[in-house]
Chain A
């Protein structure tokens, strides 16, 4: 389809309580720059149920316009209802570009939408720019488990779509809300939703594993040695307000559940700080965490490949270093 406008859209995914997920607000930062270069508006698109909080948040983080759809059928994410809603919005307003956070839902919805619109989608981008030659968005993304970067263009189809990895861009500063807010009437029939959530199995004792959105991750690997060995890892994570991660070796050994796994067959993460404890640094693990801002490695083996990507490496016994670090943090932070 043809773009009706030069507008750039950011899909702002909501939580069940109607507030915005971080990544949607983060993307308003690069979205602003790209929209200015494209010569169009920056539009935040919000879908959910009771989404006032998300609409307000988008409005005060730089959006020129907020389009939102609010309805009970959108309280919980479903592929069928969300793709229909976005398709309706795109057909109605005709943006030239749309950024979608590469969350599990974003990556479920994005390709479905690109297929419906018959346009190009670039997955899990970590870099965004405008290509000088064509004026299109230059989407840069890792492939081959992070061993290769590729820059992708979508020159002839609109809108050009991309999912963007959470945590890559910083949230823009909040300012005065100056966005035009537009409620779009759209509903989706309940019988059109062909999936039904029968049961939600929360992690044990309310422990949420949001690795992708975490600012700090403390991970354990083979060197942790046992399920009990994760105790000092958890204590350090608690002291830092961090999320607990793990390498495949620790997950395969049954010491911790797969939802904690970082790496090629687990989650790809990009926290501000990643502390790898007793992780040797197999390439599959590095693929999932080498995009972290600062990496600390604690390992007995001075030749472990993890030290090749670490900003700070401690060669030593994690069972001495980790509790000492926890104690130090508690002492200094009171």
Chain B
């Protein structure tokens, strides 16, 4: 099986602080990580490879040059080959423009690899943008069936069987290949890289794909100008005022006090 895993390098949002004076995000010194959901997608691909060692895993990212670090980490964890889509022209793309560029990149990677991917795995969403849109938008451009909110994937003769989260329980869904799957957090932790793989990843060549290679890209559909949505403004959400602290003698008294306050406020 040939699997393409799309990953994004994101700031570790657990490290993000708000500057109390300017009321803006402080991103300086915030470490970059592989988007956790993309890590789950990579793990799902690795689990297919565990069962079928002939599986080849290629990782693709789009971003500035420093996103190579995320790709090297993916190589150290499980990937066999990595590509980075990087070009100033692509900067400022919204989700639709991003999916359009990735669509062209998928075709290029398939040409360079000489294969057609049976499946494209993505994270459900990135933890910086939180949109969960690029995966399905890419699936549409490829005209592939999609399954979102996947937990696990197993290969099944021309199809994948996907365990996915639903609103009222989990589902097992069969989807024909080629397909695109977006992954959420499974019940298990993704694997760590081995020392040996880490050393190999450090030396690996990461192919860069720019507008010079991706010649089919229409510049009017890429980057800030090619994006149908524009950010008008950003702001830090107003902080809540300090709440009421209840600290009675006993837990029981505190509970009674809370009940009274909630009743008065018509919350319960």
Contacts and interface: CB of A to CB of B under 8 A. Distances in A.
Interface string B155-186: 00000010001111111111110010000111
A4 interface: no
A198 B174 contact: yes
A285 to B, nearest CB: 11
Contacts of B25: 144, 147-148
Contacts of B21: none
A314 B96 CA distance: 46
B38 interface: no
Contacts of A325: 255, 258-259
Dominant SS at the A interface?
mixed
A199 interface: yes
B185 A311 contact: no
Given A120-B94, A194-B176, A104 B166 contact: yes
B18 interface: yes
Tell me which of B148, B168, B259 has the highest count of chain A C-beta atoms within 10 A of its own C-beta. Answer: B168
B230 A142 contact: no
Interface residues of A, number: 96
B223 interface: no
B25 to A, nearest CB: 6
A201 B172 contact: yes
B265 interface: yes
B215 interface: no
Contacts of B179: 194
Interface in A259-297: 259, 261, 264-266, 272-273, 282-284, 287, 293-297
A107 B132 contact: yes
Q: Which of A118, A194, A203, A209 has the most B CB atoms < 10 Å from its CB?
A: A194
Contacts of A307: 243, 245
A313 B244 contact: yes
B169 A201 contact: yes
A332 B262 CA distance: 13
B14 A284 contact: yes
**DSSP majority for the B interface?**
mixed
A108 interface: yes
Contact count band on B: 35 or more
A301 interface: no
B147 A195 contact: yes
A264 B99 CA distance: 23
A151 B234 CA distance: 6
A103 B167 CA distance: 8
Contacts of B237: 142, 146-149
Interface in A315-334: 315-317, 319-322, 324-325, 327-329, 332
A265 B146 contact: no
B184 to A, nearest CB: 7
Interface in B201-240: 227-237, 240
A123 B170 contact: no
Given A121-B96, A329-B259, A144 B13 contact: yes
Interface stretch (A42-50, A58-66, A153-161, A171-179): A153-161
A104 B165 contact: yes
Nearest to B132: A107
Given A118-B96, A203-B168, A240-B268, A108 B146 contact: yes
A327 B146 CA distance: 48
A119 interface: yes
Contacts of A240: 268
B145 A199 contact: no
B21 to A, nearest CB: 16
Which 7 A-B residue pairings sit nearest by Cβ, starting from the closest?
A320-B251, A120-B228, A194-B145, A324-B255, A115-B140, A111-B133, A120-B229
Interface of B: 11, 13-14, 16, 18, 25, 36-37, 94-96, 99, 127-141, 145-149, 161, 165-176, 179, 184-187, 227-237, 240, 243-247, 250-252, 254-256, 258-259, 261-263, 265, 267-268
Given A155-B230, A320-B251, 19 more contacts: A111-B135, A111-B136, A118-B96, A124-B130, A141-B130, A144-B13, A149-B236, A151-B232, A152-B230, A200-B171, A201-B171, A209-B168, A259-B169, A282-B14, A283-B13, A308-B240, A311-B244, A324-B254, A325-B255
